[in-house]
Structure formats: structure tokens, C-alpha cells
Chain A
Amino acid sequence: MGGFLSAVWDVGTTDTAYTAAARFAVVLAFAATGEWVAERAGTLNISVEAMILAGAFAAAMGYHTTGSVAVGLLAGTVAGAAVASVQAEMSHRLTADQFVVGLTLNILILGVVGFLGSEWEPSTRTASVVEVPLLVDIPLVGPALFGQPWPFYLIYLVVPVFAWLVHRTRWGLEVRSVGENPQAADVSGIDVNLRRRQAIYLGGLSAGLGGGYLLLGQVGRFDPGIVAGRGFIALVAVIFGGWTLRGAIFGCLLFGSVLSFRLTLPGLGYELNNEMLSSLPALVTIVAMALFAHAVRQPEALARPFIRGLK
């Protein structure tokens, strides 16, 4: 126990630990923010993994062809939305099962980028680090939050914009209502499946951007295994956060820190059980769901398809 506490202390006082945690967390945060919108509209979107992967690959190709990080990120965003379009149109226009579609997309996109990636072999590098003056001098968390490659800072834009859209606009009210009671929303003249599709598209944009950041802001070289389950962890973070954006971001920070221990703890001279750490997000979420499933209210119509006249 004493060893554990001193490890926590050492990690808590090392600023590189914060930087590593922030890098893990921000990819999760991009994906989780989008996933949150989709889930509030009533879709349990498991293709978020595919959206991140497509975003990362498109960002690599975009950078490879134009040499511009901005174009790469844009391409990543578009690719995320492209995956979202398949998920949205098939599950909320053609009424195919959303899990089936999501699962198939995860496998299909992994195959497509693995195949195209090995055929085209995009060469990329990470974007340049931009330090925000003054703020970067904050002890411990300064470099983690304000001394990162510049695409990192997009998260400070995405999260407030998404929160505003969902909580402060008419569109957001309608999105939340189709996730809670689609029958009532339908009667009051809202196109339920249209709103759900739009929410998935928005989720795809954000997850694709997250994939672009993962590639151009963090890893720097494309590999089909680049996402490594981050999409599922983002999905889990939304549930862990009780379907609030604040909770989801907290979940991302928590899981991001846990995952970053794999990198930081050995550097500080600690032995650790790698497998245990990797399965921690899943285990924590299962336990949290088992304990708080009654206390936390999920969107009432989550994962339930809407077909007019059928309940």
C-alpha cells in the first residue's frame, strides 16, 4: 500500500505525467463529445471506433497529399462524417439494427484502412507544438493543457460548441426529446429519425476530428492498430459520466490518466501489471454500471429504434 501511495505521489508531482494523461484524454474527449450527442438522441453508437480510425487514416492521406495539417484534420473530419452517414442512414432510415451496423462498420473500416494503408503507405509527421504564453507557465498542468501540438486546442472549441448546441438551441432540445420520448416528439411534429441521423453525423464529425488529432497531434505515423479500442473507451466514458457532458469529460480524463500510466510509471521506476491497467476502464465501468444503474437515468429511448406506430 505504501508503494502504491508513493507511486501516486510521484505521478501527481511529475508534469510529464500530466502531459501524457492529457494526450490520451483529449482523443477520448473528441470522440466522447460526439458520442454523447448521439446517445442523447437515442443511438448507442458503437461505430465510434470506426469513425476515429477513418478520421486518422483520412488525416494521414490528407497530410500526405497536401503537406498541410489543417487539410489533414479537415479530411479526418469528413471521413468521420462519412462513416457516420452509413451508420445513420442504415440504422435510422432503413431501420437496420444499430449494433449490427456499428459492429460491421468497425470491421469493415479496419479492413479498408488496413488494406489501403498498406497499399498507399502515407508518410506523415506530428504537428508543431504551440505554447500558449503565460498559461503554459502554470506549474504541473500548464504544459499539459497549454503546451501541446496546436490541433490539441481544438478541444477547447468543440466541447463548448457541442454543449451549447445540445443545451441552448431549439435543435438541441429536439435532439434530447427524441432520445427521451420519441413518440411524444413525433406527435409534436419533430422528425425523430432525422434528428437522430443529424446527431450521429455530428458525432462522426467530432470523432473524425479526434482521429485526425490522434494521428497528426500525437502518433505521427499511420498504423491500422492506431485506435486500439479508444472508441470503445470513449463510449464507456459517456456511460460512466451518466450521459452528461461534464461527466463524460471527467470520465475521459480519468481513463486517459489510467491508460497513460502505462507510459509514465515505468519511466519513474515502478513495475506495473500492464494487463490490469489496460482492462481497468472496462472493469471500472462495469462496476460503476452495476452499482449506479438505478441512480443514473439514461436517455429513456436509448438504443430503441423509432418506427411510427410501433412501440
Chain B
Amino acid sequence: MSARTAQGRVVEVVALYAGCGLAALVISGLIVEAVGADWSTVGGALLDGSVRKPGRWGGTIGVTVPLAMVAIGTIISTKVGLVNIGQEGQLLVGAAFATFASTRIPGPGPIVLVAILLAGIVGGAIWSGLAGGLRYWRKVPEVLTTLLLVSVASNLVGYGLKKPWLLLDSEAKRGNRNLVSEQLPADTRMPRITLFGNDFAISAFLAIAVVLLIGWMLNRTLWGYRLTVVGHNRRVARRFGISESVQGMVAMLASGGFAGLAGALMLTGGDFANYRMVSGFSVSIGWVGLLVALVANNRALAVIPMAFVFASLRTGSGFLASTGIERRVTDVVQGLIVLALLLPPAIMFIRERRRALAAAGSRV
């Protein structure tokens, strides 16, 4: 491809992304206007609640961390050509394992904290490993099993929260509204720091390190290359002596492990449910994290900004009450943004194909 057409392609991609993103925002604005609110005040409130008002960055970072963890795990499984859409369940099971570990493991705080995070990883990996095992042992499509295991996970956690020997806090008052686990003691919580008036857990640095490390491993190491080969062409992988099932299982376990880690970080981080496991603990972080990975188009470096944008929508929605509009409007905006960002790669693919066919047409 000559330099000129390469430049033209960049312009085209940028224009497509800008156009589609703008269209999503315009449609969101129209929906807001349709219910009789003003789009500029709503947008202003969202910005205030997520970043503009002093001290709001901290909460947004707290939501960004689990989103980024789920997304980076998703990228690993996508790399090897598997479709894991059960992060919500893997996250829940990870959080449940973490909670269980927190109440059972004695010892000094920092060691217990590490054990909690490891338990979360194990829990998530078990849940995705079930789907991966069925995929390679019995050829059951992993799309379906991961999806189905989400509802099983949420029922399992709901059951655990009723039983004192599993998750339920034995001190909690009886009644339907008290299905909660014991609160983490202060010394096993993730330490928090304050930067420029924004208070957040130090797991943010862990998350950035993990994203960079996985991004490097996927693109620059033999392991990442093996995953890429299997993802692109199984037959080539077999000729190279790369085992599809081994690489697939590793990717699947890693994918679920990161979702489980996200659950453990939510538990220890303090931005969700006040250091307790509650019913509905996952609050769709698994689903949204999956969307973050899709919107980041499976590039590790894009995960952090995209996770931050989606986290901003969530934290910003807390400020919508003053505008008299339902906070659920952010779910609409979020869905529209994802849908809009799916379009450019698809359109580019079709256009390039059409061009290639036109160019080849005179020669074939």
C-alpha cells in the first residue's frame, strides 16, 4: 500500500469513528429531549459527577479498576479465538471465594489481603475453567456455557448468602434485607491514598501494571504469539506444534481469573457495597467490562481510557437526580456508544474488501 492511500485510510478511520461517536451522542441527546429534559444540563451533571467536581476522580477510578481487569481478561480469551461472555458470573464467583477466604484465613492483614485476591482469581478461573473444559473435552460451545454459568453463579451466591457456613454474616439481623457477608476488618482492606483531593484505593496502580504487563505479554512474548497463532488459524498452530487445547485452556483460565480478581478488588477496594458481599454484588461490572474490551477493539492499551469513560458514565449518573432525569439514561448512552463504536471496523472491512475486489476484478 502506498503512503498516500495509507494516509487516506487513517483519515477515513478517524472520520468514521468521529461520525459514529457523534451520532451516538446526538441520539442520546434526542432521547433526553424526548422526555422533556435539557441535554446540556444532563451532560454537565454527568461531567460534574464523574470528573469536574473536586474529589470525584477517586470514585471514578474505583469503578475503572474492576472494569479494566474484566476487560484485560476478555482480551486474552478473544486473542485465542474463544468467546467468553460470562465475566459477570466469573466475577461473582471470584468475589464469593474472596469473601469466603476473608472470613476463614487467619493471619496478619497484608497476607490475608493477598490471600483474598488469590482466592478471587481461583474462583473466577474455576468458573471459566468449567466452560473451557467442556469446550475442549466435550466440544460444547463456550459461548453458551459461559453465558449459562452466569445465572448459575448468581443463584449460587444468593444461596451462599443465606447460609452462615458459606457467606452469610452470622451477626447480621435476620430478614430478607440482611443477606450480607461479614464486613472485612480494617487491616485486610486495600489501603487508600489521597492525591490532589481524590481518595482512591492503591489497587489502581496494580491495575495499570497488570494491563501494561498483559499488553506486553500478548504482543511481545512467545506465549502471546502462540495465542495469536491459535486464534488466527488452528491448522497452522497444529503444524507449529502448538496445542490448541492447552493454549485455549490457559487463556480461558486467565480470562476468568482476571474477572475473579476484579471481584476480589471490588470487595477489598471499598467503592462497592462497603467491604461486604451482598446479593447483586456484581452490579453489571462484568457485562460492562466485556463491553470495554469490545470497544477497545482488543488492544490492551486502549482498555484504561475506555474503562475510565464507562466508569465516568456510572459515577456521573449519581449527579443526575438534580436534573430531574432518571439515572438509567446512562445505560442508554453506554449502549449507544458501544453500538456506534462497533460500526467503524465493520464498515472499514466491507469497504476495503470492495476496493480489493474492484482492483482484482480487472486481473482475474
How far does the alpha carbon of A95 sit from the alpha carbon of B351 in the complex, in Å? 12
- Across the interface, do B140 and A290 meet the contact criterion of CB distance under 8 Å? yes
Q: Is the C-beta of B363 less than 8 angstroms from some C-beta in chain A?
A: no
A114 touches B328 (CB 8 A): yes
Q: Specify which of B83, B288, B330 lies most central, judged by the most chain A CB atoms within 10 Å of its CB.
A: B83
B350 touches A286 (CB 8 A): no
Contacts A232-B151, A239-B144, A278-B151 hold; do A94 and B335 have CB atoms under 8 A apart?
A: no
Q: Which residues of B contact A99 (CB under 8 A)?
A: 83, 85, 143
Complex Cα distance, B85 from A112, in Å, reads 22
**Interchain CB contact under 8 A, B342 and A286:** no
State A286–B150 Cα separation when bound (angstroms): 12
Determine the interface band of chain A, counting residues with CB < 8 A from chain B: 35 or more
Closest Cβ–Cβ distance, residue B340 to chain A (whole Å): 10
Docked-complex contact A279 and B152, CB < 8 angstroms: yes
Cα-based distance from A94 to B343 in the complex (angstroms): 8
Tell me how far the C-beta of A275 lies from the nearest C-beta in chain B, rounded to whole angstroms: 4
Q: Which A residues lie within 8 Å of B347 (CB)?
A: 94
What residues on B are CB-neighbors of A90 within 8 Å? 339, 342-343, 346
Chain B residues near A263: list those with CB within 8 A: none
List A residues 140-191 near B (Cβ within 8 Å).
Answer: none
Most interface-central of B149, B152, B328, B347 (chain A CB within 10 A): B328
Quick check: A104 and B331 within 8 Å, CB to CB? no
Query: What chain B residues lie within 8 Å of A291 (beta carbons)?
Result: 138
Q: Chain A interface secondary structure, helix, strand, loop or mixed?
A: helix
Within the assembled complex, what's the spacing in Å between the Cα atoms of A46 and B83? 13
Given A115-B31, A275-B155: A286 in contact with B145 (beta carbons within 8 A): yes
User: Which residues in chain A, 88-125, are within 8 Å of chain B measured between CB atoms?
Assistant: 90, 94-96, 99-101, 103-105, 107-112, 114-116, 118-120
**B139 interface residue per 8 A CB criterion:** yes
List of B residues within 8 angstroms of A46 by Cβ: 85, 147
B252 within 8 A of A: no
A114-B147 Cα distance, complex, nearest whole Å:
22
The yes or no answer to B358 lying at the interface (CB within 8 A) is no
A120 to B36, CA, bound (A): 11
In the bound complex, CA of A118 to CA of B330 (Å): 14
A294's partner among B139, B325, B328, B350 (CB-CB below 8 A) is: B139
Q: Are A232 and B148 in contact (CB under 8 A)?
A: yes
Q: Report whether A293 and B140 are in contact in the complex, using a CB–CB cutoff of 8 Å.
A: yes
Neighbouring B residues of A294 by C-beta, 8 Å: 138-139
Chain B residue nearest to A298 (CB atoms) is B141
A96 adjacent to B346 (CB under 8 Å): yes
- Once the chains bind, are A111 and B342 in contact (CB under 8 Å)? no
Q: A291 to B294: give the CA distance in the assembly, Å.
A: 32
A265 part of interface (Cβ distance < 8 Å): no
Task: Determine the chain B residues whose CB is within 8 A of the CB of A44 once the complex forms.
Answer: 141, 143-144
Tell me if B151 and A103 are in contact (CB < 8 A).
Answer: no
Q: Quick one: closest B residue to A224, CB to CB?
A: B328
The answer to whether A96 touches B342 (Cβ under 8 A) is yes
Interface check A276, CB cutoff 8 A:
yes
Q: How far is the CA of A275 from the CA of B134 in the complex (A)?
A: 23
Q: How far is the CA of A109 from the CA of B328 in the complex (A)?
A: 11
B113 within 8 A of A: no
Asked if B61 CB lies within 8 Å of chain A CBs, one says: no
Which A39-92 residues have C-beta < 8 A from chain B? 44, 46, 86, 90
> In the complex the two chains form, is A114's CB within 8 Å of B331's CB?
yes
B151 and A116 within 8 A (CB): no
B250 within 8 A of A: no
Contacts A95-B350, A276-B155, A282-B152; is A104 near B329 (CB within 8 Å)? Answer: no
Point out the residues of chain B lying under 8 angstroms from A107, CB to CB: 284, 287-288, 291, 331, 334-335, 338
Task: Give the distance to chain B from A64, nearest Cβ to Cβ, in Å.
Answer: 15
In whole angstroms, what is the CA distance A96 to B340 when docked?
Answer: 11
Verify A289–B138 contact, CB threshold 8 A: yes
Q: A95-B349, A112-B335, A232-B147 are in contact. Are A101 and B140 (CB under 8 A)?
A: no
Instruction: Decide yes or no whether A6 CB sits under 8 A from chain B.
Output: no
Q: Does A219 contact B (CB under 8 A)?
A: no
**A contact residues around B147 at 8 Å (CB):** 46, 232
Provide the residues of chain B in CB contact with A239, threshold 8 Å: 144
Q: Which of A247-285 contact B (CB under 8 A)?
A: 273, 275-276, 278-279, 282-283, 285
Residue of A nearest to B152 (CB): A279
User: Which A residues lie at the B interface, using CB under 8 A?
Assistant: 44, 46, 86, 90, 94-96, 99-101, 103-105, 107-112, 114-116, 118-120, 229, 232, 236, 239, 273, 275-276, 278-279, 282-283, 285-286, 289-291, 293-294, 303, 307
Q: A46-B85, A275-B156, A279-B156 are in contact. List 15 more A-B contacts (CB 8 A).
A: A46-B147, A95-B349, A95-B350, A96-B342, A96-B346, A103-B85, A104-B338, A104-B342, A108-B336, A115-B35, A118-B328, A119-B35, A119-B326, A286-B148, A289-B138
Q: Lowest 6 A-B CB distances belong to which pairs?
A: A111-B331, A108-B335, A94-B346, A275-B155, A282-B148, A275-B159
Question: B residues bordering A, Cβ < 8 Å?
Answer: 31, 35, 83, 85, 134, 138-141, 143-145, 147-149, 151-152, 155-156, 158-159, 284, 287-288, 290-291, 294, 325-326, 328-332, 334-336, 338-339, 342-343, 345-347, 349-350, 353
Q: What are 17 A-B residue pairs whose CB atoms fall within 8 Å in the complex?
A: A46-B147, A90-B342, A94-B346, A95-B346, A101-B339, A103-B287, A103-B291, A107-B288, A108-B336, A115-B31, A119-B35, A275-B156, A276-B159, A279-B152, A282-B148, A283-B152, A286-B140
